[in-house]
Amino acid sequence: MDANTNSGSSARAERKQREKAKIIQREKQRQTLKTISRLLQKAEGERSQEDRALLQEHQDTVQELSRRQSRRALLKSKQDEVFDDAENLKVKVKQLAEELQRAKHVVIYTGAGISTAASIPDYRGPNGVWTQLQKGRSVSASDLSRAEPTLTHMCIWMLHKVKMVQHVVSQNCDGLHLRSGLPRHALSELHGNMFIEVCDSCSPAREFIRLFDVTERTALHRHGTGRLCPHCRAELRDTIVHFGERGTLEQPLNWKGAAEAAQRADLILCLGSSLKVLKKYSCLWCMNRPANKRPKLYIVNLQWTPKDNLATLKIHGKCDAVMGLLMEELGLEIPVYNRSQDPIFGLSEALSAQEQESHTREEIAPPAALEDASPDAPAQGEATAVQGGWFGRGYAKARRKKKSV
């Protein structure tokens, strides 16, 4: 018994000794790293003989710090926004216009960058939603009931109308493509639509379009809106695909339409997307084909994207500016958004009397209501800050849990 006890105590002591040695070693490495980093910040002429000897002795650490610095510089350069000068921009847009006219099946991929002109923040820009979440900062958004389709949304609608664009694949949840007049069959909203809630208990799933943001109560892995299906009385859910989730709803995601359009495409135009998420959807890029059999890829974005090296042409400019020049080159009129013709008013379904108080969001006002609005009402940029489930609520908490695991 005593022998077993002594053996157990000896083993514990050895483990403690090994752990202590590891801690001491890590602390020593940390101090060395700190010292070498401080020496490297000195100008070479200011380093003493002792400094140079220390740097020579720790060449591995010097090389590791150099690699870290290079990685940091590369990451920073990828986040920088770059603008083509006016002349270069015109040349590039002219090239894009010529290719669009020659193409037989054009698909447009859109990201948050096409909606920034509507005062909707992007995701990976310097002040984007994703950028802020990664820095551990809280994210707030303006009430989007006052947002309207931008010049880019309306240009896309016109290009589809004249049959120069066959399909639009969007990462955006703001519903502005739908509100621009783009037909549902020509649109895939891969990450959902904040104005649509569905009953997935019904077969097929029933869709309910509202005039307000339905994500007030929803978040990551929590999609119930609190309202009930009038047919089966099951709880309705939003259509949003959050960070880390996989979308399975047939509509409004329309993955089938997106995949079929990508397979038929001979030209893909990416507008305002970092492509860091879209690049993971292999069915959108035809990478199983030889390079010369893939669609030509044109990218309009201010920052680096992971598809830049595959692009036929990269245009560094704001989406509205580029699309305005493109329409001029094509000789097409840029349509102006008209709220009285917004399809959402015809598509939306009113709440039942019992559910009138089921949300606190401002509804999209029809034209007549806007004319009657008080002159003291806040403008779009001054709307009360609200937090929607589509804006990544719950993601920061889930990310902390994942790290702790």
Binding residues, as ranges, are: 199, 202, 229, 232
Distance of CA 44 to CAs 32, 41, 76, 280, Å?
19, 9, 25, 45
Q: What is the CA radius of gyration of the chain?
A: 27
Structure token digits, residue 133: 């979440």
How far apart are the C-alpha atoms of 329 and 91, rounded to whole Å?
11
DSSP 111-125: -GGGTGGGT---SSS
**Chain centroid to CA 61: how far?**
37
Choice among 191, 223, 316, 359 that is catalytic: 191
How many Cβ atoms sit within 10 Å of the Cβ of residue 250? 15
299 in Cβ contact with 307 (< 8 Å): yes
CB 101 within 8 A of CB 330: yes
Output the six-digit token pair for 99.
Answer: 């290719």
Task: Tokens 């009930």: give the residue.
Answer: 228
- Residues annotated within the binding site for Zn(2+) are 199, 202, 229, 232
CA distance 300 to 315: 5
- Say whether 191 is catalytic: yes
Q: Are the C-beta atoms of 278 and 284 separated by less than 8 Å?
A: yes
> How many helices (H) does the chain have, and how many strands (E)?
12, 12
Rounded Cα gap, residues 298 and 99, in angstroms:
10
Q: Are 359 and 96 in contact (CB under 8 A)?
A: no
Euclidean distance between CA atoms 334 and 154, whole angstroms: 7
Q: Which residues contact 117 (CB under 8 A, 6 or more apart)?
A: 150, 151, 152, 318, 319, 320
Active site residues: 191
